[in-house]
Amino acid sequence: MADVLILHPGEMGSSIGQALVYKGHRPLWISEGRSESTRSRARKSSMYSHETLEAGLADVEIVISVCPPEYAIDVADQVLELGFDGLYCDANAIAPTTARVIAEKFGDSYVDGGIIGPPLYRHGTTRLYVSGNSATRMVKLFAGSALDTRLVEGDSVAASALKMCYAAYTKGTSAMLLAIRSLAQAHGISSALRSEWELSQPRLWDRSEGSGPGTTRKAWRFAPEMREISKTFEDAGLPAGFHEAAADVYERMAFLKDSEPVSTHKITKILRKD
Amino acid sequence: MADVLILHPGEMGSSIGQALVYKGHRPLWISEGRSESTRSRARKSSMYSHETLEAGLADVEIVISVCPPEYAIDVADQVLELGFDGLYCDANAIAPTTARVIAEKFGDSYVDGGIIGPPLYRHGTTRLYVSGNSATRMVKLFAGSALDTRLVEGDSVAASALKMCYAAYTKGTSAMLLAIRSLAQAHGISSALRSEWELSQPRLWDRSEGSGPGTTRKAWRFAPEMREISKTFEDAGLPAGFHEAAADVYERMAFLKDSEPVSTHKITKILRKD
């Protein structure tokens, strides 16, 4: 079984590592420079560790990059600089043009990936979409695991394009909802909006109530993802403002990274900087 | 029964006129300068006509402005210049700060309004929200009619704020969906997006299929409404980009005003100016 290096195991990455452990693989992580929470998560997932990236790369055929989108190119460069010549899968939420920069570095060893769904606590919740000439190797790697891995038809960065389109709606509308709740509060009409939504937009108030707590601790990483999405729209000649605004919303919440989940009511005040 | 002047009866305005006819009122419209389609609609609704605004105003106690948002201030000024001293209800989709400009012109004779729902083809579909010191007069006017008229608690332009918050989501997400469909098509991944949405976002593909035909003929007036919404966000210190982008989407479709409904597939190409 191929050994796999995951850079770097956050919640999603460590759950993917766990899925590989169950399949009999020996996923690795690199401990050097990682936070205590990353170390703790990686240990719990039964992944193996190497201290340095150099030692880790010497031991594996496949690298999967799962990191905040703004680090995707840096992580790729670090791997390349150490002479790695195995398969490199970038599974981050990045614009197709960003993915293409990485794809060009790795050539046919590049697999473009996009993850849709939550960390893998059980089968069936989460898909890894892959594209590019070597994408079937990733499908084989995860075959029978909890991570439903699917080829996307299209060009070599089609998986990133799909991820951008998908997150554009889910995370984009969550940010919009929070901004609307904040606007309603600014005008003192929250209860009228709630009544109207309950009449004509079933479940929307409840969804907005969930958006605050649900994004509190993720907003810091949603913000750069929204920037990648706005770049994707702009690159295609489409309006970029939806996701520039969404990035702005999440940036205003980014300081809540280590907070307990915060109610939408409180988030609406934070967004207006009351 | 108070006579009411409706400026100017589009689909919504003429359906409101019809609701007043059923209640025994004598709603008026002004024929001077109106298009043939407005004339035809107004006639069908059994409204009475005067040729000039001056003649119409001399005959009524209440004016209701129902027009594209960019004309709201002009219509108010025309009415004021003719010395009208009755009740003036602006029921347009305008920013609270725009509504406040009109409110200050009319003082206590101003009623702020916001319409939510489609033209009144039957009871129960559509609400007129009203706010301001004289708002109860509008509630009385429509009591028992097909137009469900409700007071909004809050300041004198609370009804406009509510309308902005409401349309921000419905029309904002429709525009976002069309832009996402266009992006997916640009990357050749529409069928992958459809499969993923059908798996994890039930009804979203169908909604996006409806957004193109459903907005084809309205986009020209949605665009300035989106600008009013973005102004509302900006005035409250919130990100304006969501609805700047939505305005941009609808502006690209505005030339379809008199077209038959166009499929979302075709709209996605129009948005990218293929």
ipTM of the complex: 0.96
Element (H, E) at A179: helix A158-186
Query: Percentage of chain A with pLDDT > 90?
Result: 88
pLDDT at B149: 97
pLDDT at B242: 98
Residue A24 near residue A1 (C-beta atoms within 8 A):
yes
Q: With 90 as the cut, is the pLDDT of residue B39 above it?
A: no
| In the block, residue with structure tokens 């201290």 | A51
Range from B45-49, B111-115, B150-154, B220-224 carrying the lowest mean pLDDT: B45-49
Task: Please compute Rg for chain A using Cα positions.
Answer: 20
Q: Are strands B87-90 and B62-65 parallel, antiparallel or unpaired?
A: parallel
pLDDT at A90: 98
* Interchain pair B162, A193: CB under 8 A: yes
Those residues with Cβ within 8 angstroms of residue B23's Cβ, 6 or more apart along the chain or in another chain: B1, B142, B144, B145
A 83-112 → B contacts, CB under 8 A: 96
B203 touches chain A (CB under 8 A): no
Closest C-alpha among A153, A160, A164 to residue A225? A164
Q: At what angle do helices A158-186 and A264-271 cross, to 10 degrees?
A: 90
Residue B30 near residue B53 (C-beta atoms within 8 A):
yes
Q: With 90 as the cut, is the pLDDT of residue B168 above it?
A: yes
* Interchain pair A192, B239: CB under 8 A: no
What whole-number distance in Å separates Cα of residue B66 and Cα of residue B88?
A: 11
B274 touches chain A (CB under 8 A): no
CA distance B116 to chain A (A): 9
Query: Percentage of chain B with pLDDT > 90?
Result: 88
* Interchain pair B196, A96: CB under 8 A: no
Residue B120: C-alpha distances to residues A13, B2, B45 (Å): 53, 21, 11
| In the block, residue with structure tokens 């919404």 | B229
Q: Please, which pLDDT band fits residue B44 given cuts at 50, 70 and 90?
A: confident
Closest C-alpha among B257, B214, B263 to residue B10? B257
Q: Please, which pLDDT band fits residue B274 given cuts at 50, 70 and 90?
A: low
* Interchain pair A189, B232: CB under 8 A: no
A 141-160 → B contacts, CB under 8 A: 152-155, 158
Q: Please, which pLDDT band fits residue B2 given cuts at 50, 70 and 90?
A: low
* Interchain pair B158, A187: CB under 8 A: yes
What whole-number distance in Å separates Cα of residue B24 and Cα of residue A46?
A: 78
Output the average pLDDT for chain B. 95
Angle at A192 between CA A190 and CA A197, to 5 degrees: 95
Q: Which residues in chain A are contacts of B272 at CB distance < 8 A? A: 236-238
What whole-number distance in Å separates Cα of residue B217 and Cα of residue B237?
A: 32
What whole-number distance in Å separates Cα of residue A180 and Cα of residue A25?
A: 46
Q: With 90 as the cut, is the pLDDT of residue A17 above it?
A: yes
B154-167: average pLDDT:
97
A161-189: average pLDDT:
98
**What are the tokens at A135?**
């994408």
Output the average pLDDT for chain A. 95
pLDDT at B1: 54
Those residues with Cβ within 8 angstroms of residue B270's Cβ, 6 or more apart along the chain or in another chain: B252, B253, B256, B262
**Taking the CB of residue A222, how many other CB atoms lie within 10 A of it?**
26
CA distance A32 to chain B (A): 37
pLDDT at A1: 54
* Interchain pair B165, A180: CB under 8 A: yes
* Interchain pair A196, B273: CB under 8 A: no
Q: Please, which pLDDT band fits residue B147 given cuts at 50, 70 and 90?
A: very high
pLDDT tens string A186-230: 999 999 999 999 999 999 999 999 999 999 999 999 999 999 999
Element (H, E) at A246: helix A241-253
Q: In what order do the strands lie in the sheet with B28-30?
A: B48-50, B28-30, B4-7, B62-65, B87-90, B110-116, B127-131, B148-151
Q: With 60 as the cut, is the pLDDT of residue A274 above it?
A: no
pLDDT tens string A54-86: 999 999 999 999 999 999 999 999 999 999 999
Q: Which residues in chain B are contacts of A166 at CB distance < 8 A? A: 193, 196-197
Q: Which residues in chain B are contacts of A176 at CB distance < 8 A? A: 168-169, 172-173, 176, 242
B186 touches chain A (CB under 8 A): yes
pLDDT tens string A160-169: 999 999 999 9
SS3 call for A110: strand
* Interchain pair A173, B173: CB under 8 A: yes
Range from A205-219, B21-35, B55-69, B168-182 carrying the lowest mean pLDDT: B21-35
pLDDT at A38: 81
B177-193: average pLDDT:
98
What whole-number distance in Å separates Cα of residue A226 and Cα of residue A70?
A: 11
A241 touches chain B (CB under 8 A): yes
Chain B residue with minimum CA distance to A125 = B200
B195-205: average pLDDT:
97
Q: One-letter amino acid identity for A120? A: L
Number of helices (H) and strands (E) in chain A: give both, helices first.
12, 8
A21 touches chain B (CB under 8 A): no
pLDDT at B192: 98
pLDDT at B42: 78
What whole-number distance in Å separates Cα of residue A38 and Cα of residue A36?
A: 5
Q: How far is CA A28 from the centre of its chain?
A: 20
Q: With 70 as the cut, is the pLDDT of residue A96 above it?
A: yes
CA distance A39 to chain B (A): 32
What whole-number distance in Å separates Cα of residue B28 and Cα of residue B58?
A: 11
A–B: how many Cβ contacts below 8 A?
Answer: 183
B78 touches chain A (CB under 8 A): no
pLDDT tens string B10-33: 899 999 999 999 999 999 999 998
Q: With 90 as the cut, is the pLDDT of residue B122 above it?
A: no
Q: One-letter amino acid identity for A79? A: V
pLDDT tens string B207-233: 999 999 999 999 999 999 999 999 999
Q: Which residue has the higher pLDDT, A89 or A124?
A: A89
CA distance A12 to chain B (A): 18
B233-245: average pLDDT:
98
CA distance B118 to chain A (A): 12
pLDDT tens string B253-263: 999 999 999 99
What whole-number distance in Å separates Cα of residue B123 and Cα of residue B148?
A: 8
Residue B223: C-alpha distances to residues A47, B7, B90, B172, B180 (Å): 53, 20, 19, 10, 18
A 109-128 → B contacts, CB under 8 A: 116-117, 127
Q: Which of B162, B172, B179 sits opposite A238 (nearest CB)?
A: B179
Chain B residue with minimum CA distance to A167 = B180
B177 touches chain A (CB under 8 A): yes
pLDDT at B38: 81
Residue B69 near residue B92 (C-beta atoms within 8 A):
yes
